[in-house]
Structure 1
Amino acid sequence: MTRQRALIVDDEPDIRELLEITLGRMKLDTRCARNVKEAREWLSKEPFDLCLTDMRMPDGTGIELVQYISQRHPQMPVAMITAYGSLDTAVNALKAGAFDFLTKPVDLNRLRELVNSALRLGSVDNQKLPVDSRLLGDSPPMNSLRKQIHKLARSQAPVYISGESGSGKELVARLIHESGPRTEQPFVPVNCGAIPSELMESEFFGHKKGSFTGAIEDKQGLFQAANGGTLFLDEVADLPLAMQVKLLRAIQEKAVRPVGGQQEVVVDVRILSATHKDLGAEVAAERFRQDLFYRLNVIELRVPALRERREDISQLANAMLARLATGSGASPATLTSEALDKLKCYRFPGNVRELENMLERAYTLCEGDEISAGDLRLADASPGGDASEASLAEIDNLEDHLEEIERKLIMQALEETRWNRTAAAQRLGLTFRSMRYRLKKLGID
């Protein structure tokens, strides 16, 4: 069996020797280059499965080599070796296309993990990616999104996924994880807005028995649960500032300290994050730390809103109706042409999630196997708008209209917090008692 090859690029003989010995013990063939020129010569002569490059070299930089390899050998993972504490350099390398980075002095355990992860990436590339089966739509925005997912899956860089509520940000995060070398390891999603602030540190980092009232045994945190895999921080903008500081340190140090613990626990976790809010605006308003934003937003991936890809609505609706029929054991329903036109004109503030809820309701209420425009209950929605944008002439009763707007906002907050009423109340700026009163008044169970 042909041994896999690694290219080592560093102008320090001691570092080259250390890397060569370590990779040799991992059964890799290695070639060494002292500068960018020699590295390019090796790349022109032989194929490689991995490249490890230093940042500073006599005739150029590691980032220049990363860009060169990304353009001419896009399937080859490149890892950058940077000086300790040079996280800005590491971030720039990741943006340039580096797979991951190491800091000097090189931790050999971390080096072995990185190499194994990079080599697994080659086997993932040869498999059929699981993107198309769940990420429906053939519109240009969706085809572009698929390409970006495939590209980002090859990196270990933190990705900030932006997009409106209900657009599918968690699915995109899951596909990035499953399409990359960490696919066999855990994918741990967490809604940051649904965790009470007093429990956040324990939830994220774990705790030791007896560290606080109620800590009757040691508990593993979310970072430890995601070790080797991916931690997805949904609604990351909802983290309180005190927790943002601790999260930043955990990301920078790649280690966490459980509440009540004396020792830090090393963790290998890829961070993906998302929020429906404008995180840049949150930074400007000083509700989100700029340094944490910089670490999370190494690469931004925007998920398009449903109204930006209306040509996908027919395909999405048919797939959803087929799934509903399978789940109920009944025959599938179809949309009338009028109903489909109605959907294509609707603004969909709740995006794909709203479409799914709408079709589930219509499927339950429709007569026979056909869903009409009336079954969708969109008579009060003007084309391209929603109930909150209705004109004065369209409003028969102000109280009913305001109640409908209130219902939509509360339902949206509940869905975003996975029906955690306390977190939904906080998001809407309500007390829990006020939230409970509104739920009862609107008949929301």
Structure 2
Amino acid sequence: MSRPTVLIVDDEPDIRELLSMTLEGMDIAPDTAADLAEARQKLQLGDFHFCLTDMRLPDGDGLELVQWMQSQRPGVPVAVITAHGNVETAVRALKLGAYDFVSKPVRVKDLRKLVTTALKLREVEQRDVDSTAMRGNRQPLLGDSPPMERLRKMISKVARSQAPVHIVGDSGTGKELVARLIHDSGPRAGGPFVAVNCGAIPSELMESELFGHLKGSFTGATADHEGLIRSAEGGTVLLDEIAELPLLMQVKLLRVIQERAVRPVGGNQEIPVDVRFLSATHQDLGALVADGRFREDLYYRINVIELVVPPLRDRGDDILELAEHILDRLAAQLGVECRELSAGAKKALLAHSFPGNVRELENVLERAIALCEDGRIEAEDIQLRQPEPGQNPVRPRVSPGGENGLGDQVEELERAAIIQALEQTRYNKTQAARQLGITFRALRYRIKKLGIE
């Protein structure tokens, strides 16, 4: 099998030689060009797996080469070498389509990681990761509506890059699923995927949870802890609900993203990390920046590429495909046969705006399964939440405790009511169901779902 080939573009002979020697040591065939014109000529004639270009060239700059390659050689990933600390140039390169960047002076370890990850893209292409493959994923991205087709194409495109991606969408639209697909469709698929809910970590523990800590650095630190970011080494970190980060943590996270290194609590040295950062939120970060609640520099650093996940109300008949998929999964989990939607049930689903999106659809179908008889869900089994007067019908209200705070409270109340009814009827489920005003089948379903022994 022939060795992979990499083109190095730099006007300094010593740099070209140093980088070539590093690649030779990795069993990679290097080729070199001293300026833009020579680079374009070689890229047009040769079959390269990767291109690494300096920013300053005698007849132009690296950004021009990045733009040219997006139209002429889009299948070849290109990374740029930037001056140390020149974050603005790095971000511009990523926005133009660069695979990644490396800062001067180029460290051999960083170069090896960069090239090794980039060369894995050829393996991804051989797997032919397209919309069909995404449908066959363990968690498929369903739907044929135009917004979903556009989203699938964007996922395939951004998966080829190492640029930070910010995923925007209403609560319940499936932002974490999109992040997982980006990870699974890219060169880091073999590495870990770590999802961090920034709103679920107490502020006093956040630095330790994200960056790790050393033994003895604070009361209770009985052992070293590597932290969530370092646990994703070689893979991807999703910072979900990033808008919930306190301002002090935003400053520290910005440094981690820029320097690609973390400093554990109690440590005095930064530890290099090789991860790709994705972020997500249902809030308007631009408005939070304007209000002074989110740092503008962090916003532009994480929002190099923005992906919008469409709400369910904009996806047309996708809702029926989703409903059938969810019904099959729930029926298999619960051991019931309610998998069919009547014409009336389908009409009711299509007429609803679903402010809670896919999460609300799942809840509606769970209740419908508990109520349906003879394996068929009728329109009366579809209990849809109606917006209260004055409430926006297309955006759910969120409790102060987070997205799931109200749902958790309702489940606790439901669990308490069922246990009380069972105790009062000496665990006679038929009588307990009658006392609660629900069917025996519905009670059996709720007992199983809530984990009541």
Q: TM-score range by the shorter chain?
A: 0.7 to 0.9
Which of 251, 254, 271 pairs up with 1:248?
254
Residue 207 of structure 1 aligns to a residue in which SS? coil
For 1:437 and 1:24, locate their aligned partners in 2 and report how far apart those are by CA, in whole Å.
62
SS in 1 for 2:315: helix
Map of 1:131 onto structure 2: 134
1:178 pairs with 2:180: no
Give the match for residue 228 of structure 1: 234
Residues 440 and 334 (structure 1), Cα distance of their counterparts in 2 relative to 1, 3 Å cut: closer
Change (3 A) 1:211 1:154: same
Aligned partners of 1:222, 1:418: CA distance in 2, in Å?
A: 27
Go from structure 1 to structure 2 and tell me whether the alpha carbon gap of 1:31 and 1:199 turns closer, same or farther (over 3 Å shift): same
Are 2:367 and 2:383, in contact at CA under 8 Å, matched by a contact in 1? no
**One-letter identity of the residue aligned with 2:66:** V
Specify the alignment match of 1:399 in structure 2. none
1:128: Cα distance to partner? 3.9
Tell me the CA shift for residue 54 of structure 1.
0.8
Aligned to 1:290: 296
- In the TM superposition, 1:26-41 aligns within 5 A as 26-41=26-41
In structure 1, what is the equivalent of residue 432 of structure 2? none
Contact 1:194 1:417 in 2 (8 A): no
Partner of 1:167: 173
Q: Secondary structure at the match of 2:74?
A: coil
Say whether 1:328 aligns with 2:334.
Answer: yes
Map of 1:433 onto structure 2: none
Hey, what does 1:120 align to over in structure 2?
120
Q: Specify which of 331, 339, 345 is matched with residue 345 of structure 2.
A: 339
Q: Structure 1: which amino acid aligns with 2:276?
A: R
2:285 is aligned with 1:279: yes
Paired with 2:210 and 2:273, the residues of 1 have a C-alpha distance of 12
Q: Is the 8 A contact 1:255 1:265 kept in 2?
A: yes
For 1:430-441, list aligned pairs within 5 A: none
Indicate conservation of the 8 Å contact 1:350/1:412, yes or no.
no
Q: Distance in 2 between matches of 1:437 and 1:350?
A: 16
Deviation at 1:32, TM superposition (A): 0.8
Deviations 1:204-249 (A, max 9, x none): 1111111111111111101110111111000000001011111111
Distance in 2 separating the partners of 1:319 and 1:341: 17
Post-superposition CA distance 1:106-143 (Å, at most 9, x none): 01101000100011111111104342231000111111
* Residue 5 of structure 2 corresponds to residue 5 of structure 1: yes
- What TM-score results when the alignment is normalised by the length of structure 1? 0.87
Match of 1:55 in 2: 55
- Which of 314, 319, 339 is residue 313 of structure 1 equivalent to? 319
CA distance in 1, matches of 2:410, 2:194: 34
Q: 1:143 aligns with which of 130, 138, 149?
A: 149
TM-score by length of 2: 0.86
Name the structure 2 match of 1:189: 195
Which residue does 1:79 correspond to in 2? 79
- Name the structure 2 match of 1:110: 110
Deviation at 1:251, TM superposition (A): 0.9
**Closer, same or farther in 2 for the Cα pair 1:38/1:222, shift >3 Å?**
same
Aligned-pair identity in percent equals: 56
* Residue 297 (structure 1) shift: 0.4
Deviates more, 1:153-162 or 1:250-259: 250-259
Q: 1:370 to 1:21 in 2, by over 3 A?
A: same
Aligned positions, number: 409
Q: 2:368 maps to what in 1?
A: 362
Between the aligned partners of 1:79 and 1:317, the Cα distance in structure 2 is 43
1:157 aligned onto 2:176? no
SS of equivalent to 1:190: strand
Instruction: Give how far 1:97 is off.
Output: 0.6
CA contact (8 A) 2:214 2:267 kept: yes
Q: 1:107 corresponds to which letter in structure 2? A: R
- Structure 1 CA distance, aligned partners of 2:344 and 2:164? 44
Which runs of 5 or more residues in structure 1 are unaligned?
Answer: 392-407, 422-435
Equivalent residues of 1:191, 1:417 under 8 A apart: no
Instruction: Report the CA distance shift for 1:334/1:415 in structure 2 as closer, same or farther (over 3 A).
Output: farther
Q: Which residue of 2 aligns with 1:17?
A: 17
2:71 partner letter = Q
What displacement does 1:342 show? 1.2
Match of 2:96 in 1: 96
Equivalent residue letter for 1:186: P
* One-letter amino acid of the structure 2 residue matched with residue 62 of structure 1: G
CA distance in 2, matches of 1:29, 1:210: 48
Query: Are the aligned partners of 2:121 and 2:160 in contact in 1 as well (CA < 8 Å)?
Result: yes
**Shift of the alpha carbon at 1:362?**
0.6
- Choose 318-327 or 169-178, whichever is displaced more: 318-327
